[in-house]
Amino acid sequence: MKTYKFQLLSLFGALILLTSCGNNNGQNKSSGALNSSNAEKVYVAPGEHDEFYAFMSGGYSGNLTVYGLPSGRMFKEIPVFSQFPTSGYGYSEETKPMLETSHGFVPWDDSHHPDISQTNGELDGRWIFINGNNTPRIARISLTTFETEEIIEVPNSAGNHSSSFVTENSEYVVAGTRFSVPIPQRDMPINEYKGNFQGALSFISVDPKHGHMDIKFQIIMPGFNYDLSHPGRGKSHGWFFFTTYNTEEANSLQEVNSSQNDKDFIAAINWKKVEEYVNSGGGKKVPAKYAHNIYDEATHTATSTMKKEVLTVNPLDVPGAVFFLPTPKSPHGCDVDPTGNYIIGNGKLSADLTVHSFDNMIAAIEGEKFDGEAYGIPILKFEDVLAGTVKSGGLGPLHTEFDGKGNAYTTFFISSEVVKWKLGTWEVIDRKPTYYSVGHLMIPGGNSRKPFGKYVVALNKITKDRYLPVGPEMEHSAQIYDISGEKMELLYDFPTHGEPHYAAGIPAELLAPKAKKIYRLDENKHPYAVTSPDQARVERKGNEVHIYMSTIRSHFTPDNIEGVKVGDKVYFHITNHEQDFDVPHGFAMIGQNSSELLIMPGQTKSSLWEPKQVGVWPFYCTDFCSALHQEMQGYIRVSPANSNIEISWSLGED
């Protein structure tokens, strides 16, 4: 019976195939799997390159993944907030300081919203920033080495979610707290939240030359939840907009208690005004403890500094700097269109989108048309600032991106769709399903002055049946749509790693030519580097043994070491002497309570081994570097703690 059914089905399928072949001759309009042009649109032939880079946040992986668009191929996972045994990030002596915080070593975080640095409101491809949500941190990643260069902790913050978005000239990367907390932290009853907890919005300055970050000031706001944010641009440059929810200031069962108010707020912050106030001596320095970790490319080493104070600003001290724009239904996404005039608040419990007008807002402020205040901060009248409402017919709007051609694209979590609508007329032009429960979406440059409106990628939260099942835990899925035409066209599905929240895309031509190929050995300033094999040596300092080792295809120098004893702390300092693109060497030591090291050409990395057992123990190269990779190994003789065997080392001697 089953076979019969199957045969019938195949026959039927074949018939469809035949008819559709005939139909396709006459018309272009076809959809689904038989539309071969969709395949062509995402097909990047072997050896060819993608048109865009897409940087997807790793969510609970704590990292950042790099994909190509339109192919959906993953190129790299960049370790940011999480230890990464693949490269030794967070395990090597050089990178352990990157994960230091005021709470000590925190080897994981929840990375959310990558944003690429901008100049004049356009992507400049110098750095990408991303927030750690759990133990509040902001990271800066180089877009030449594609490595994390800096992490700054954000004090007075918790659930660092309305982060890490950059202003139009990367003056600031901004981090807002999702969870309000006692500021400063103190021992107090939780149910005294209301009126006592506060929310910090942190403006972190970015050095225009090196990108180094420094918390310039924190605005201490009422105890709401600051959910998402985006900078003003063009005419609204100088302002920053944050959605809020839980203006009820509930401290328990928030799924009910934070949805009581019909409207929450978008907080509009005139940061230029606050900056002037601070530059002329305003604000209050308060004690705080937060780590600032910087990786130096020349020494290949990170250092961690604990900062002791932060400058805070009471918004009431800067009149005209902070206003609340009423926005319905616990708004989530807060997006600003390329012209800078429209501020879109997506009420996640609503069917409609609220669009505020910057011009209206300025007029209302100038006319002092206020509708009361909250904790002294003026509330503007909803009707005065509203530009329009998009009657979408969807459910659960979350985030909006722009194509630079006057259109906006909004995700709907509950109804699992992307809706395209027109700025100004608010009419819905198209809607396409996503699979399933889409969160953010991304158009390269889609939240800048200059979007590259060719593709939109939907980042879905739920995968279910989209791929072959792999047990209860599955990767998330992304869908790429062609948005070059009037209607969106679903092109392709691909899995993504971790839980991508937001993503940032940029044309490949802006990054690829400046991607670093090797680190120059003659520029290596690592204190334990050996720049030629004859400098390789082993030194004992008490119970510390420092092995200055070099690697080149296909040996370690030295590869025979004696005189190490049980109880020693053995530091391997390994310099890769290759100066060829894509020839890393790996290093792994049997029984080492750590990860491997993967050392790039010209780089030095160190790791600690504490031998516990007498014997002769091998180490080897973990990267298949050459045809003689299997020969790339060595031995360390470990003698008893009371042995008097002197340190010695060799290579190629009998």
Q: Which chain residues interact with other proteins by CB under 8 A? A: 47, 516-518, 520, 552-554, 579-581, 583, 601, 625-628
**504 vs 552 by CB, closer to other proteins:** 552
Instruction: Output the smallest distance, CB 214 to other proteins, in A.
Output: 31
Residue 351: strand, helix, or coil: coil
- Least separation, in Å, of the C-beta of 64 and other proteins? 24
Residues facing residue 598 across a β-bridge: 586
The DSSP annotation for 96-138 comes to GGGGEETTEE-----B---EEEEETTEEEEEEEEEEETTTTEE
Q: Which is nearer to other proteins, 65 or 524 (CB)?
A: 524
Question: Does 70 sit behind a cis peptide bond, omega within 30 degrees of 0 on the bond before it?
Answer: yes
Q: List all residues 6 or more positions away from 287 whose beta carbon is below 8 Å from its beta carbon.
A: 184, 308, 309
Closer to other proteins by Cβ: residue 339 or 626: 626
Closer to other proteins by Cβ: residue 284 or 520:
520
DSSP 80: S
Taking Cα atoms as reference points, which of 409, 403, 407 lies closest to residue 422?
407
335 Cβ contact list (under 8 Å, min separation 6): 230, 343, 344, 346, 399, 400, 401, 402, 408, 447
Tell me how far apart the alpha carbons of residues 138 and 161 are, in angstroms, rounded to a whole number.
11
* Distance of closest approach, residue 150 Cβ to other proteins, in angstroms: 24
Taken as a whole, the chain contains a residue count of: 654
Q: Return the number of the residue (14 or 628) whose C-beta is nearest other proteins.
A: 628
The minimum distance between CB 323 and other proteins, in angstroms, equals: 51
Measured from the CB of residue 580, what is the shortest distance to other proteins in angstroms?
5
To other proteins, the closest distance from the beta carbon of 74 in angstroms equals 21
Nearer to other proteins, 381 or 553 (CB): 553
In the complex, minimum distance from the CB of residue 160 to other proteins, in angstroms, rounded to a whole number = 37
Nearest one of 511, 504, 507 to 166, comparing CA atoms: 504
| 463, two tokens | 């995968």
Shortest distance in whole angstroms from residue 553 CB to other proteins: 5
> How distant is the alpha carbon of residue 506 from its chain centre?
14
Q: Say if residues 587 and 612 touch (Cβ distance below 8 Å).
A: no
Give whichever of 512 and 641 is closer to other proteins, judged by the CB atom. Answer: 512
Identity of the residue, 450 or 553, whose beta carbon is nearer to other proteins in the bound complex: 553
Amino acid at 384: D
Q: Which of 74, 70, 39 has its CA nearest to residue 58?
A: 74
Q: Which of 113, 75, 55, 60 is nearest to 498 (CA)?
A: 60
In the complex with other proteins, the residue whose CB is nearer, 314 or 579, is 579
Smallest distance from the beta carbon of 520 to other proteins, in angstroms? 7
CB of 529 closer than 8 Å to CB of 522: no
